[in-house]
Each structure stands twice: as structure tokens, then as C-alpha cells.
């Protein structure tokens, strides 16, 4: 797809900009063991989505405070598990291209601010703009996070490229009116093998 209209880039964090898959899965497996849930059913639901949304899907009978407590426990399991968290392949090249081309960018994540800063720091990434689940009232697949990210970088959503590795994030990007770039074989306006491929496309446009 032609990317000449793209004036800003909005990047998901986990699985897109930061390789944290192993840490995420470890945390959910521990959480499932504590809460009597089946990790094989829970982990696919959790990918790319806020913890509270996943808890509600797994345990729909829980009250609001119970959901909040269960989600807080899940995040707590992730905060200090950073030993194998690194930038994804091509991330450094992409960020260098964005800097050279003067393209504003932001990270829009379903993590809370503490976890986002911890993981981005472990990966050596310091985003100019960070939108976390703490900044919005509705997480992915709601478009609020991407709309906020677009506003903060000063680019209309229709001229933003949303880069995602999870279907809930792609749904959010489409709902925001952005062009989508999909990893992991998912279906976006652009399909990417890794962020290095996106760097090349932006350099060549």
C-alpha cells in the first residue's frame, strides 16, 4: 500500500515495539493458576488487550472492584519480570528512520504507565509520547487510545499509521480512522514481517 499520506506513526508496545511475549505469558500462567482459570483459553484473549477486559471476559460474574483487584494482581506479576524483554527486530532501524524523516510517533499500549515505562526502558526505547491504559477510559479495541495518540502528536488520525500485532489493536486502529500495519500474519492495510520492513517502506516512499 502507498504510504505517502502517512504523517505520523502510532505503535503498539508488547509484541510490536518490545518483545515481551515470554514475560506476558509467564504472568498470565501464574495468574491463571492463582485464579483457577485455563491458561490455554485465557492467553489468546489477553494478547494486546487491557488486563481488566480479559478478566471480565474470563470471569463475567465478578463485580467492578473484584475485576480491578484481579487485573491489578496480573499487572503486579509483570512489573519486575524484565530479564528477557528486548526491542523487537527492526525496531531500532524504524525509530532511526522516523527521526531522519521527521515523522512524529507515539506508543499506545494496553499496559499501565508503570509497566510501559519498565518494559520500554528494558528495551532501551524512550518514546516522545506515551499513551497507556491510565490515560483513557476505554482500552483496545476501543479507538480512544489511538485517537489520543494522534492528537498528542498533532496528526489527524486519517494520516496516522497504526502498527499492531494483535487483532484488538487493529480493530482500534481502524475505528480511529487510521491506516493499519499488521505483524504476525494478521490482516492490515499493510502486512509486515517485522519493523525493519516498515522502516524500508517509509524510507522508499
In the set 14, 19, 142, 165, the catalytic residue is 14
12 has catalytic annotation: yes
142 has catalytic annotation: no
Separation between Cα atoms, residue 83 and residue 23, nearest integer Å: 8
Active-site positions read 12, 14
Amino acid at each position: 500500500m502507498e504510504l505517502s499520506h502517512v504523517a505520523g506513526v502510532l505503535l503498539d508496545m508488547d509484541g510490536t515495539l518490545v518483545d515481551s511475549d515470554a514475560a506476558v505469558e509467564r504472568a498470565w500462567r501464574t495468574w491463571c493458576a492463582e485464579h483457577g482459570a485455563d491458561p490455554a483459553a485465557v492467553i489468546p484473549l489477553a494478547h494486546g488487550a487491557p488486563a481488566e477486559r480479559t478478566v471480565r471476559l474470563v470471569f463475567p460474574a465478578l463485580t467492578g472492584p473484584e475485576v480491578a483487584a484481579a487485573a491489578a494482581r496480573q499487572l503486579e506479576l509483570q512489573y519486575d519480570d524484565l530479564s528477557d524483554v528486548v526491542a523487537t527486530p527492526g525496531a531500532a532501524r524504524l525509530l532511526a528512520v522516523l527521526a531522519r524523516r521527521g515523522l512524529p510517533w507515539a506508543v499506545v499500549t494496553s499496559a499501565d504507565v508503570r509497566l510501559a515505562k519498565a518494559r520500554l526502558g528494558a528495551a532501551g526505547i524512550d518514546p516522545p509520547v506515551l499513551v497507556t491504559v491510565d490515560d483513557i477510559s476505554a482500552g483496545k479495541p476501543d479507538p480512544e487510545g489511538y485517537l489520543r495518540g494522534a492528537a498528542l502528536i498533532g496528526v489527524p488520525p486519517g494520516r496516522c499509521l497504526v502498527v499492531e500485532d494483535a487483532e484488538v489493536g487493529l480493530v482500534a486502529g481502524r475505528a480511529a480512522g487510521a491506516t493499519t500495519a499488521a505483524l504476525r500474519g494478521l490482516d492490515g492495510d499493510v502486512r509486515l514481517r517485522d519493523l525493519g520492513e516498515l522502516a524500508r517502506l517509509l524510507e522508499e516512499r
